[in-house]
Amino acid sequence: MAETHLTRDTFERLREELDDLRTRGRVDIARAIEAARALGDLSENGDYQAAKDSQGKMEARIRQLEATLEGAVIVDGATAGAAGDVTTGAVVSLRYVGDDDIERYLIGSIEERREGVSVVSPASPLGQALMGHRKGDKVSYEAPSGPLEVEIVEVGG
């Protein structure tokens, strides 16, 4: 089972979403399927097919949430990166060598996404290269297009 680092707030939000999907979500989908069945011939019933598609997507999300929460490790988002090291939950500002633009990344789960900050998994090549490094360090990693080097401009929470 894969570990997923989540803040307490994100863990609670995902748990609430899972509870809602297991209860209200399943009831709503069952009602939609039943209403579509009442319309007649299922082979040419677009409402029925749409409801079944929605049910499949919802059940996939339930399985995804279950796996994420089962493997969750709670991290303190307020202290992430406070010591200056790149850790899970830290927001890192990077400059690619040869480029003047600075890009900001949150090191963590896509479930932790924030406005204006891209998310990088700590298990990704970039995430692995950054972990444990500090402001001013240059690190290299293997991207699909070939090796890249970045400079860590800032580490914060």
**pLDDT of residue 19 exceeding 80:** yes
**What is the pLDDT at residue 85?**
85
Same domain, residue pair 94 and 53: no
Q: Say which CATH number the domain at 123 has.
A: 3.10.50.30
Same domain, residue pair 48 and 89: no
Using CA atoms, how far residue 30 sits from 10, 39, 54, in Å, is: 28, 15, 10
**What is the pLDDT at residue 123?**
87
Same domain, residue pair 70 and 87: no
Same domain, residue pair 147 and 85: yes
**What is the pLDDT at residue 90?**
85
**What is the pLDDT at residue 78?**
65
Same domain, residue pair 115 and 137: yes
Same domain, residue pair 94 and 128: yes
- Taking residues 58-73, report their average pLDDT: 94
**What is the pLDDT at residue 82?**
63
**pLDDT of residue 147 exceeding 90:** yes
Q: What is the rounded average pLDDT for all residues in the chain?
A: 89
**What is the pLDDT at residue 17?**
96
**What is the pLDDT at residue 1?**
61
Domain of 123, in residue numbers: 81-156
Rounded to whole angstroms, the Cα distance separating 133 from 89 reads 14
